[in-house]
Amino acid sequence: QVIGGRYRVTGVLGEGGMGIVYVGEQQMGSTIRQVATKTLHPHLSKDPSVLARFHRECGTVAQLEHPNTIKFFDFGATADGTLYIAMEFVKGSPLNEIIENGGPMIPERVLKIMKQVCGALDEAHKQGIIHRDLKPENLILTDRAGEVDFVKVLDFGIAARSESADSQKEQKLTQQGMVLGTPPYMSPEQTYMKSDRERLGVEVDARSDIYSMGVILYEMSAGRRP
């Protein structure tokens, strides 16, 4: 199948509750580049809040330029209405597999990885963008231009803006009580229902990502979660 008239599917990378991620090819003149194409399950396109969140993901990640952040190429809809995002394909290993197979990392390697992830987050945070689902599975290590352990931060799919003109509108896209994130890496405030956060005056902001990175830092250093 050719998605969007440009991206020929060659395999499946993964599938989740929101959709399927394919690996594919795009003809670029006389060369071919590999792309990862994330599609949204067709039945979800009927849900306005899910649709809005999908489009917000495109707008969120497209403006990030840090070399350690996954790059978006394109987005749109197929003939049957299936929404898709085309992004760079990264051939590498997720951090969780590296920890599982290799155990604790030496401090120098931990520092190298942390500096790259924090650089990507710094750019996002300065634009008011919070990742909210940082975990080893979303950190891919690859070899690039002769450099080993080059990091790519994936999946800003549930990212949120902490300061934007549309923040109130975006808050309405999340149902009251809906928890977004992966429990072992979530900051305590992320586990609160929206009504409880409002009552307690607690916000999910850049500090939530820093908390998640603290858990990941511990796991890289100790070989297990705290």
> Can you tell me whether residue 34 is helix, strand or coil?
strand
Tokens read off for 179: 């928890």
User: What does the alpha-carbon distance between residue 180 and residue 51 come to, in Å, rounded to a whole number?
Assistant: 16
User: What does the alpha-carbon distance between residue 130 and residue 57 come to, in Å, rounded to a whole number?
Assistant: 12
The residue annotated as part of the active site, out of 47, 74, 80, 133, is 133
**92: nearest Cα among 134, 39, 38, 151:** 151
Whether the Cβ atoms of residue 162 and residue 130 lie closer than 8 Å to each other: yes
Phi-psi region of 4 (alpha: psi -120 to 50; beta: other; left: phi over 0): left
133 is catalytic: yes
Q: Which residues are tagged catalytic?
A: 133
